[in-house]
Amino acid sequence: MMLAWQRERVSGWGMAVGGDAEVVRPTSADEVAACLQVADRSGKGLGLRGSGCSYGDASMNTGGRVLDFSRMNRILDFDTDRGVARVEPGVTIRDLWRRSIVDGYWPAVVPGTMAVSMGGAASMNIHGKNNFVAGTFGEHIRTFTLLTPQGERLQCSPTENADVYHAAIGGFGMLGCFVELTVELKRVHSGRLRVTAVATRDLDENLEVLDAHRPHADYLVGWIDVHGKGKGLGRGLIHRADQLAAGEDPEGERMLRPELQDVPGRLFGLVPKGWIWPGMWCTVKAGGIPWINWAKFRAGLKEATRAPYLQSHGAFHFLLDYVPRWHWAFRPGGLIQFQPFVPAKEASRVFRALFEMCHKARLVPYLGVLKRHKPDPFLMTHAVDGFSMAMDFAVSDGRRERLWRHTQAMAEVVLAAGGRFYYAKDATLLDTSFARIHGDDAVRRFRELKARLDPQNLLQTDLARRLGVI
């Protein structure tokens, strides 16, 4: 059956950037190959899209064509002895853990939402709250099949076509289409984690606490009150979570049931969570964000006095799924995220400078999230031996241009300190940033691979054009 290209608006998850494109949703590798041929002839360029969870323009191809993998979503095999899944690219993190948890496996790396697809996770080489110990998603991909724009199916692993393996993972969809991936999961003995909260008074204490817990923790994440000023600049609440050993949790086995991992659908057991976003919208419009941050910080002080408690994997990891469509609270302008990765020795100075720039410009993010990272072996890596600070900004027509200039000025501070950026979150970096992030040698090698696998530059996205990659 001939697939129909449908003209539709394709937006980043943050809704701040978007544009029309012709979209098609193949269901098999053969259909993907057919789409590549048609797209090749049309000459409009083709962007690759998974679940569309990238905040910015990473899966957009405005004016061109987009290959959406959401219907190529079959789990092909799950080896319950080894915890290895063979999947199609449209399978989501949710699909994967729902399958694996009953057999005592959990995806080795998960982001803040379970909607992310396997193909998208590989293309952007996503990370989770355990990046400092487990590395990125790509480090748990054993093999994958990459369908190149020339119709070649490359089998890739750390030892086979290793150059393509290390460049396509994190290669933001520039080298080919993932049509099958083999992913390794990790063993868990309980459906719950032991969570410990630590309140912090300022930015430096956050960094110190993360580094102090790093040698023994399984997961670490910090919420930062970006509205705190003066002595309270960068204050927040750190959550550490640890896996439980076999027999440590008497309810552990029962909690491996998938229905006990899903985030609850109702607030206080009554209000459907799908109804919450209009209330959040009103809060945003009424300027209530600083008060929400203040209240969360106060609540965090109380939470930190509690003894460690048990929480399901789903509830700990998927904070972005707690309130369905919460990003609609930022309609109509949407939101962008600015997430710099800064080497450890520069982190305190750089983050402090960024916060001060935000307060001075009166462009303060509504949310800040701090994580610890370690380097990974991929060519287009965003990771450093240091910290990342994700900052979410609401976008409105009145301040859009100013916000873009503001984040570009902040990016300059980060790049001067040897920092990097994560393209799943980016919407504003300039083309001059690309080589500074990765270094001339990595950029040259990436471009050589692009020329070899996609000589006609068929694979394009708004992100790649903005960064001057093609």
Task: Report the interface residues with another protein, using CB under 8 A.
Answer: 1, 3-8, 24-25, 27-28, 71, 74-78, 80, 95, 98-99, 102-103
Return the CA Rg of the chain. Answer: 21
Residue with Cβ nearer another protein (75 or 154) = 75
Q: How far apart are CA 451 and CA 81, in angstroms?
A: 41
For the CB of residue 94, give the shortest distance to another protein in the complex, in Å.
Answer: 11
Give the CA diameter of the chain: 64
For the CB of residue 212, give the shortest distance to another protein in the complex, in Å.
Answer: 40
Residue with Cβ nearer another protein (85 or 124) = 85
Beta strands (DSSP E) in 225-294 are 236-243, 266-267, 271-272
Residue with Cβ nearer another protein (153 or 296) = 153
For the CB of residue 99, give the shortest distance to another protein in the complex, in Å.
Answer: 5
Q: How far apart are CA 391 and CA 408, in angstroms?
A: 13
Residue with Cβ nearer another protein (99 or 239) = 99
Q: How many CB atoms lie within 10 A of CB 311?
A: 16
For the CB of residue 339, give the shortest distance to another protein in the complex, in Å.
Answer: 28
For the CB of residue 246, give the shortest distance to another protein in the complex, in Å.
Answer: 21
Task: Classify residue 170 as left (phi > 0), alpha (psi -120 to 50) or beta.
Answer: left
From the number of C-beta atoms within 10 Å of its C-beta (0-12, 13-18, 19+), residue 418 rates as middle
Bond prior to 324 in cis (omega within 30° of 0): no
Q: Which amino acid is at 322?
A: Y
Residue with Cβ nearer another protein (259 or 440) = 259
Find, among 299, 320, 411, the residue nearest to 367 by Cα.
320
Residue with Cβ nearer another protein (11 or 396) = 11
For the CB of residue 72, give the shortest distance to another protein in the complex, in Å.
Answer: 10
